[in-house]
């Protein structure tokens, strides 16, 4: 490369950075800046009536899993916190599994429709996104509450004698999150299945493969990027869900998002709330790194 070409490349790089400067400044001020405030708050002492005291303290991070005895200042395991973390992870994993179990055949059905009707089915899948999350959650509440549609139909059919008590339980939160996040699983799966070469199915059947073998050894490995993407898109928002557990859990079945809100509100323990927020961020980051690892491995193997 000649000196003139090097100078032109350097000038092009400088121009690129200059053009990116406004976006970088906005990103720093409105994304990195607030995150740094949360990081700083997590290492400070809680104020007596909320807010923080400017004194270094690890009480916020310690309070994630440990609680201090008010009489002898000893620390013990914070059972309630562990229960909230376990409930959040459990419900997020179950939601991901259920949305996959329902979303995979749904995506396969849509991908195998004629091109003219495929757009209509995708349109129907995206309709829930037109409605506010709170409204969708209240819609599920009307279905599963004691006097809701589900119990009314079951009682009229004579299948049950008294209403099923689903509302304000983990089951209610689970059903609500599965309903809310199902489209986030269907769309990536559809994109992966839509690129699937159906001639591979004919080849597998010609080699006397059973339907289970075709699914396990042909279909799932090829559409795995869509499965991973959909799982991440469902698991991440489920883990930080706030509205659905609040409405369908009635404030009793608390998840991490509700627990964080409690610390910044009634709990008045901002350092603990900041530490919990960063813990949630770390869990989400680990999940995304796992996704990137598997996605890169699939690309390296030519999938």
Q: How far apart are CA 240 and CA 291, in angstroms?
A: 18
Q: Give the pLDDT confidence of 211-238 residue by residue, as tens digits.
A: 899 988 899 888 988 998 899 899 999 9
- Domains by residue range for the chain, with CATH: 3-76 (no CATH), 79-300 (1.10.3720.10)
Separation of alpha carbons 261 and 45, rounded Å: 18
The tens-digit pLDDT sequence of the chain (303 residues) is 677 777 787 778 888 888 888 888 888 888 888 899 999 999 999 888 778 899 999 989 999 988 877 777 778 888 889 999 999 999 999 999 999 999 999 999 999 988 888 889 988 888 888 888 899 999 999 999 989 999 999 999 998 889 999 999 999 999 999 999 999 999 999 999 998 888 888 898 888 888 899 988 899 888 988 998 899 899 999 999 999 999 998 877 889 999 999 999 888 899 999 999 999 999 888 878 877 777 666 655 554
User: Strand 52-56 vs strand 66-68: parallel, antiparallel, or unpaired?
Assistant: unpaired
Distances (CA, A) of 183 to 24, 89, 111, 120, 121: 32, 20, 14, 15, 12
- Nearest Cα to Cα of residue 215 among 105, 60, 70, 53: 105
* pLDDT tens string 175-197: 999 999 999 999 999 999 998 88
Cα–Cα distance measured from residue 114 to residue 111, given in angstroms and rounded to the nearest whole number: 8
**Residue 117 CB-half CA count within 13 A:** 6
Which residue's entry shows tokens 């299948």? 159
Non-local CB neighbours of 104 within 8 Å, separated by 6+ positions: 189, 227
Assign 286 to helix, strand or coil: helix
């Amino acid at each position: 490369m000649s000196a003139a070409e090097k100078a032109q490349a350097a000038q092009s790089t400088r121009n690129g950075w200059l053009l990116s400067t406004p976006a970088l400044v906005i990103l720093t001020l409105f994304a990195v800046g607030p995150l740094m405030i949360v990081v700083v708050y997590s290492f400070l002492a809680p104020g007596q009536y909320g807010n923080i005291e400017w004194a270094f303290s690890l009480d916020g991070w310690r309070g994630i899993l440990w609680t201090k005895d008010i009489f002898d200042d000893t620390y013990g395991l914070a059972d309630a916190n562990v229960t909230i973390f376990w409930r959040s992870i459990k419900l997020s994993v179950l939601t991901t599994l259920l949305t996959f179990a329902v979303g995979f055949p749904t995506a396969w059905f849509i991908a195998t429709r004629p091109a003219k009707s495929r757009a209509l089915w995708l349109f129907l899948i995206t309709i829930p996104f037109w409605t506010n999350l709170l409204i969708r959650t209240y819609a599920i509440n009307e279905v599963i509450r004691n006097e809701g549609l589900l119990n009314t139909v079951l009682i009229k059919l004579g299948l049950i004698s008294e209403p099923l008590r689903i509302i304000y339980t983990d089951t209610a939160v689970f059903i609500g999150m599965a309903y809310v996040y199902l489209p986030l699983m269907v769309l990536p799966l559809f994109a992966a299945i839509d690129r699937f070469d159906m001639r591979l199915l004919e080849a597998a059947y010609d080699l006397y493969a059973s339907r289970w073998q075709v699914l396990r050894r042909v279909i799932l490995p090829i559409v795995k990027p869509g499965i991973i993407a959909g799982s991440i898109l469902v698991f991440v928002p489920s883990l930080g869900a706030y509205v659905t557990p609040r409405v369908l859990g009635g404030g009793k079945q608390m998840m991490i998002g509700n627990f964080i809100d409690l610390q910044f509100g009634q709990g008045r323990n901002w350092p603990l709330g900041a530490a919990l927020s960063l813990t949630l961020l770390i869990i989400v980051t680990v999940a995304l790194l796992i996704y990137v690892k598997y996605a890169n491995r699939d690309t390296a193997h030519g999938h």
